Each structure stands twice: as C-alpha cells, then as structure tokens.
Chains A and B, each alone.
Chain A
Amino acid sequence: MTLMQKFLTAAAATALSAGAALAEPGLIIDLGGKFDKSFNESAYTGAQRWVEETGGEYMETELASEAQREQTMRRMAERGANPVVVLGFANASTLEQVAPDYPDTDFVIVDAVVDQPNVQSIVFSEHEGSYLVGMMAAMASESGTVSFVGGMDVPLIRKFACGYAQGAKAVSDDIQVISNMTGTTPAAWNDPVKGGELARSQISQGSDVVFAAAGGTGVGVLQAAADEDALAIGVDSNQNHLHPGTMLTSMVKRVDNAVYDAFQAGEEIQPGVQVKGLEDEGVAVAMDEHNEELVTDEMQQRVDEARQQIASGEIQVHDYTEDDSCPALTF
C-alpha cells in the first residue's frame, strides 16, 4: 500500500466514524469538575442514567479553563453532537455568539437564558428550594443564627442565599442569617480550605446550621460543620451521605433530570425557556436514611405545607435575579 492510499483509507475511516456519530448528544462539563459532588456531578449522573437505560453513546468534554468555553462548544458542534448541553450561567454570553453559527445544531443551556432559535434554556426555581431548606434550618437551629456560604459572588448564588434567608425568616422574625461568598472568580468553586474557614467563622459567630451553595468549595464547608458539630445543608446533588449525622438535608437541583430529558429528546428538542420548580421536582429537599433522625415530623409537615403554598401562589418567594435585591438579606 502506498503512502497515499494509507492516507486516503485513514481519511475515509474518519469520515465514516464522523457520520456514525451524527446524532450523539454532547455534554460539556463546566469548571469545578465532573465529580464536584454537586452541580456537575449531577449532570454527569443524568447522562450516565441515559446511557444505562438506552445503551446510547454521548460525547463529553470537561473544561479546564475559562478560555476554553468557545473552542469546546464549537468543536462539539463541529464533531456533530446534537443536542449540545452546556452547564452553568457562565456559558451564556459565549453560547449567544456560538449558537447562530450552527443553525442545524440544538443547544441546551442549564442555569441561564439564551434567546436564540436553536437554544433551549433550562432554569431552576432555586429560590423556592432554598426557601424550604431555610425553613428547616431555622427550625433546627437552637442558637437562632443560621448561615450561608456561597461560591462565586454572582446573582444566581445570591438567589440561593435570598431564598434561604426568606425561608428562615418565615419561621421566626428574630432569626439571624449570616451570608458569605467565597470569592469573585471561578476559583471560588474550588477552594475547600477557604470554604471551611468561612464556615468556622460563621459558627464562631453563633450559627449552628450552614447552607453551602458553592460547588467543590462546599465539601470544605460541610467538613468544617461536621468538625464543629454544627448542622449543614448540601446543594445540587444529594450530599446527605457525606457526613451522616450532621447533614440536615440537601437542596437538590435535578440537573440530572434536565440532562436526561435533553438527551432523550435528541434532535426533537424544543427551543425556548423551561422553568423547573417545586411542582415538577426540578428542585427538592432531600430526605433519606442519612438525615431521617435529624428531620422532625414538625419540620417535614411545615415544609410540605409551604411547598403546597408556594405551588398555589399563597407564598411568593422573592427571586433575587428579577430585580437584584433581596428583602430578607443584605449582601
């Protein structure tokens, strides 16, 4: 075989494999990493469930730095992935530019709204879920002070904090809510040492329930709470199993369902905005064998009531991202 022939065969093989991969969905794992035990891990779990149930294949890449967003999205689209699922609000401006260049590819963005004809935007009512865990925190607290550790200081994380504070204040007006953000750069999603230090600082100020919405940083927060015998609340994935006995609950955000549904819909996916809330279990309060001893019947009952009242519109939980202000907490 001459060299030329070898090249041609190789080219043909590449073309074939590209053709076969045409309808595979793609998933771009965001900064923070696939196994952050939180947001990204939840997306990965959803993708794995789809693989198990359908036997299909999908493409996956993990961002290593902020600068790779555009390049990775484009490459994913050019390799023929459809739909391409991107995770996280930080991708919104990039996707806004990339999506029009690939009109035949559908994109799904989680946690942000991108107004393009081939983009489906999935957002969650985190403020409502956080409201419920805020109520539980206030009921579990003996000191009358509860606290919140956020990751990067962005409106989405303030939305968590604001919902949490409203829930806590709904139980008792006197409750103190301390809130800290880890940082202002994406490194804030991956600094468990600082997370732990923030939690210790809050506990020393009297807090005995800490809610972490901080990606990988949250691991340090939950650890510090366990070390100091305070209660902690996890986020995104069910983190109750990490420290049984000190994990009050987790504010679960079903990113896995969102990814699963997107993969399932394949090329039939509908563009537009989807809001996943308490009714369709897009956000929920995690109850399992690891926290059943900590959750009293009264807590369970009041949380269930509040869930129905939110669904019926009787309780209006203020969404921070609507007007960039929070009635229950100052940042």
Chain B
Amino acid sequence: MSFFDIIQILDSTIRLATPLLLACLAGLFSERSGIVDIGLEGKMLVAAFFSAAVAALTGDVWLGMLAGIAASMVFALIHGVASITFRGDQLISGVAINFLAAGMTVLIAQDWFQQGSRTPALTGEARFDTLDLPFAEALSGVPFLGPLYADALSGHTILVYVGFLAVPATWWVLFRTRFGLRLRAVGENPGAVDTAGVSVNRLRYAAVLIAGLLCGLAGAYLATGLAAGFTKDMTAGRGFIALAALIFAKWRPWYALFACLLFGFLQALSNRYSTLDLGLIEIPNAFVLALPYILTVVILAGFVGRATPPRAGGEPYIKER
C-alpha cells in the first residue's frame, strides 16, 4: 500500500462517509429529542428520488435538492404526527416510512418517466459538480500534506463540505444554545421540560424536521452527487448503517463524524482490496464489510465504555392532567 493508494482510499472514504454522516446527524437530532428514527433509510430514498426527478425535469440541481429536502421533510412530518401527536409506536412508524418510500418512489418514477422505476440519467447542470478547494492546485506540490489536501479533501461536490460543516454546527446547536439544551432535556426527561413551561411536542417536531432536512441532503447527494439519477432502492441499507454509526458514536456529534469516517474507510478498503494482507494474516473482504456491525455490537455490549441512549427515547410523552 503506497502513499498514493492511501490518498485514493481516503478520497473514496470521504465520498462514502458523507451520506452516512448526514443521515447519522439526522438520527442524532431525532433521537436526542426522544424520537427513535429507523425511517432514515426511507427519508433518504424519497429525497433521492425527488431530487433526481425534479433535477431531471427542470435541469437545475438546486431545485432538485430543494424538492428532495421538501419530500424528506414531509415524510419526517408523517413520522412526527404518528409518533408525537398520536403517540404511536415509533418503530412501527419508522418501518412504515421505509416501506412507503420504497413503494412510492418506484411507482411515481414509473408514472412520470416510464423508464422502469428510474429517472433519466442526469447530465450537466442537473448534477452537482465537483468543487476544487482554494489553493488546491498550488499546494499539491507540498510533500505529504499537499496531495492529501489536493486529491483527498478537494474535488468533492458541495454537499460533502456541507455534511462536514454540519458536524460543528450540530455540536454548537445541541451544546451551546438554549434550544439545544431543551432538545437534549426533552429526550432525557420530557416531564421536567414540560414543568418548565416549554412545549415538549413543539421541540420534538423541530427535531424531527431537522432530521428530515439532513436526510434530504443525504438523499440528494446520493442521487445527484454520487450517482446520476435515481434507481430503485438505491440507498441500499445506508440508513441502517447510519443508525449503527449513531450507536457507535454514542449519540454525540464529533463521535458521529469519526464513526462515519471509520465506516466509510472500511467500505473504501473493501472496495479496493479483495483480501487485506496484513503480513501475518489475510483478512477476507467480507469480514471488513461486516466490521461496522461487529464494532457496533461490541459497543452495545459495553466493552468500550457505555453507550447510553437518551432515556426517554421511544416513549411518547403523555402530559399529566
């Protein structure tokens, strides 16, 4: 494995980690407020479809992205109404969202485009272009750090950088603002927040909608940044890997960044090498791919510190009369 290989793997890691990261932060907002969200997958899928479809129809990727975000937020709202207002089971609502998204996207795609549940391939303005970070060209000559900056960090689409900036933003909102304090409190002890005269439901709706926004970005990145159009079930389980990353990150923003980068790195590694030769032992590809799940189970079992979910997670709040 040469230095050049490592740069290429890191480049791939960043691309693969971005949708995971956005979805993971979405789950973080939702779960921190006490709403368990296994509908990340469905929201990403519906956003992927609408962003690709609108981008294909209008030829403008930005309109596509807005449509994707809107669709994802509508789905988030459905989850909110079911689990906050009507106090339904949050897991069941999440599963329903996933099924609804899988079926609905295929059906609408077939009706709109008649290309067998896919959108036409996007070209030109209908796709996110890659951005070169400032001075990437000039710095590429600097040993070691130059290529790292110019080849691995630079040259991604704008949503990648949005995803990475979302990490400090999430940290700031959750831990440095009044809204964040209340949001975290509502996930731990909604009764106390209610006693303080703050609306539990309004806070939870806000969290769920932020989750919708972030999932919308993740979906738009998949369909208009990485791929060039929507295909059936194109999220391929990324929403669930993001959930695993969320547990792995113990519901913390900076940990989420490292968890998603690690999971992305493992995927990039397995894409690159069919067997990983570590000198003494050879690790098969399938094991590298399974590692995210194995690591999550290890964390859940409490071997590496404790992963404590927000205490009020999954329970609808019933106001005492």
Contacts and interface: CB of A to CB of B under 8 A. Distances in A.
B232 A190 contact: yes
By size class, the interface of chain A is 20 to 34
Contacts of B117: 33, 35
B234 interface: yes
Interface string A168-194: 000000000001100010010011111
Contacts of B11: 204
B182 interface: no
Given A180-B271, A193-B226, A201-B8, A187 B233 contact: yes
Contact of B234 (A34, A193, A198): A193
B271 A197 contact: yes
B104 to A, nearest CB: 14
A67 to B, nearest CB: 15
A33 B15 CA distance: 27
A216 B228 contact: no
Interface in B222-260: 222, 226-229, 231-234, 236-237
A223 B236 contact: no
Nearest to B236: A191
Where chain A touches its partner, the secondary structure class is helix
Contacts of B15: 197, 200
B196 interface: no
A191 B238 CA distance: 11
B176 interface: no
Interface in A190-229: 190-194, 196-198, 200-201, 204-205, 216, 219-220, 223, 227
A242 B121 contact: yes
By size class, the interface of chain B is 20 to 34
A242 B227 CA distance: 14
Contacts of A223: 121, 227-228
Contacts of A36: 116
A202 to B, nearest CB: 9
B115 interface: yes
B231 A34 contact: no
B118 interface: yes
Given A34-B116, A41-B116, A223-B227, A180 B274 contact: yes
B233 A198 contact: no
B286 interface: yes
A216 B231 contact: yes
A219 B116 CA distance: 13
Contact of A193 (B115, B116, B236, B268): B236
Given A197-B271, A201-B12, A331-B274, A35 B233 contact: no
Contacts of B16: 197
Nearest to B109: A35
Interface string B133-175: 0000000000000000000000000000000000000000000
Given A36-B116, A219-B118, 10 more contacts: A187-B237, A191-B234, A193-B222, A193-B236, A197-B16, A197-B226, A205-B272, A219-B229, A223-B228, A242-B121
Interface of A: 33-36, 41, 179-180, 184, 187, 190-194, 196-198, 200-201, 204-205, 216, 219-220, 223, 227, 242, 331
24 contacts: A33-B116, A36-B116, A187-B233, A187-B237, A190-B231, A190-B233, A190-B236, A191-B234, A192-B234, A193-B227, A194-B271, A196-B227, A197-B12, A197-B15, A197-B267, A197-B268, A200-B12, A201-B271, A204-B8, A205-B5, A216-B231, A216-B232, A219-B118, A331-B274
